Chains A and B, each alone.
Chain A
Amino acid sequence: MTTEPDGTMQEWGVGGKWIRWRTNTINQALSTNNPISNIDPNGLQSESISTRFVDPSGHTLLNTNDGRNDVYQIEWKDIPTFQLSANNSVEGTDSQLWNNVWRSRGSLLIHENVVNLQRDERSLQALIRTVVNGFSNSTFSDYLTASLESSWNDQWQTFPWGSFFRGIEYAKFLKITAKSLLSRVERLSLFKNALENAPSPKNPKEALKLINKSLDAIERVHARANDRMFGILDDKYVTYHPNGNVTALTKGHRIEIQSNGTFSIFERKTGDLFFSK
């Protein structure tokens, strides 16, 4: 528990008043030169270069214009001191000195190289939640969805697969724990979720690309090296029909793609429909 500026008691991590306090504070900062600056409690700003300090739940405490774009996490026990320091900093929270102090007291959550890969605030927020939750299934799924959706707002031709997968590589760099390794059933569930949230492909080529890229993004993060599924690697098991339709087989699935890009995936053992789009 701690005391809020209005004198009320507030438990850290309980969002409402803390966010309101921060919202009020940014208004103060803009008008009274308060050192708290560039706070983005509603997650609507992400364009400026700013170190972001977050609490252990991933909620933004403070953005500082120090020329870096990292995300740092401040422990619960340090947040009152952090707040005090920010409010009373002589040199200002945008100074490298102040930021270096709190960088050393906090812990690096996401390096700016990865922050810069995120295409919008929603993706970054989802990534922060994913990291603070230890790459749990649900939060990673949210991140995957946010990243894909923000990217799919663009044309297919400009889809930044490279940047997206570098973000995924970062997840591997963070020493993924056993908790983030999922069974094939769980991974295929994520795969289905990714397909559902993707825009509809317009032809069989786009459909195959969607299927392979979506699966690959999940397998890179959630599969053991000796248990990866690789999708449709080549045309060896693909049939191109004269009417433009395409049928592709994997060991466990049959993919029927229409010439207009709509497709259905069936489980070959049972014949049951796995997914349709």
Chain B
Amino acid sequence: MIKTINIYNQTIELLNKLGVKHQTHNFLSGVIMLDIWHNDSFYVLQFESTFIGFSEVNDNNLGFDNIPDEKIYDAKKVRDKLKLILTI
């Protein structure tokens, strides 16, 4: 099973290292929402118990809900996705 909290910690470490603007929102339910601003884009990562949600919020995708654009269940795919959006 994917350990989303570990991936969250690794993501924060990476964002700090790269100096990428971000903000964490913690909830009593245990989920974490992570906002990332990068190259005029705004990404929202949702760390839930069984998956990590990836969304890009833009003029065509104004999300008034919490259904992620993509649900990822595999740690490697999460890292690949992060590298892609951060263009590492």
Contacts and interface: CB of A to CB of B under 8 A. Distances in A.
29 contacts: A185-B59, A185-B60, A188-B62, A191-B64, A215-B64, A228-B65, A229-B63, A230-B66, A231-B65, A232-B65, A236-B27, A236-B66, A237-B25, A237-B29, A237-B31, A249-B33, A249-B66, A250-B64, A250-B65, A250-B66, A251-B46, A251-B55, A251-B57, A252-B64, A253-B63, A268-B35, A268-B57, A269-B42, A269-B57
Contacts of A233: 65-66
Contacts of A185: 59-60, 62
B61 interface: yes
Contacts of B57: 251-252, 268-269
Given A236-B27, A268-B35, A184 B61 contact: yes
A235 B73 CA distance: 23
- Please classify the interface of chain A as helix (H, G, I), strand (E, B), loop, or mixed, using the class held by over half of its residues: loop
A133 B64 CA distance: 28
Interface string B38-71: 0000101010000000010111111111111000
Interface in A217-276: 228-233, 235-239, 249-253, 267-269
A268 B42 contact: yes
A246 to B, nearest CB: 12
Interface residues of B, number: 24
Interface of A: 183-185, 188, 191, 215, 228-233, 235-239, 249-253, 267-269
Contacts of A230: 65-67
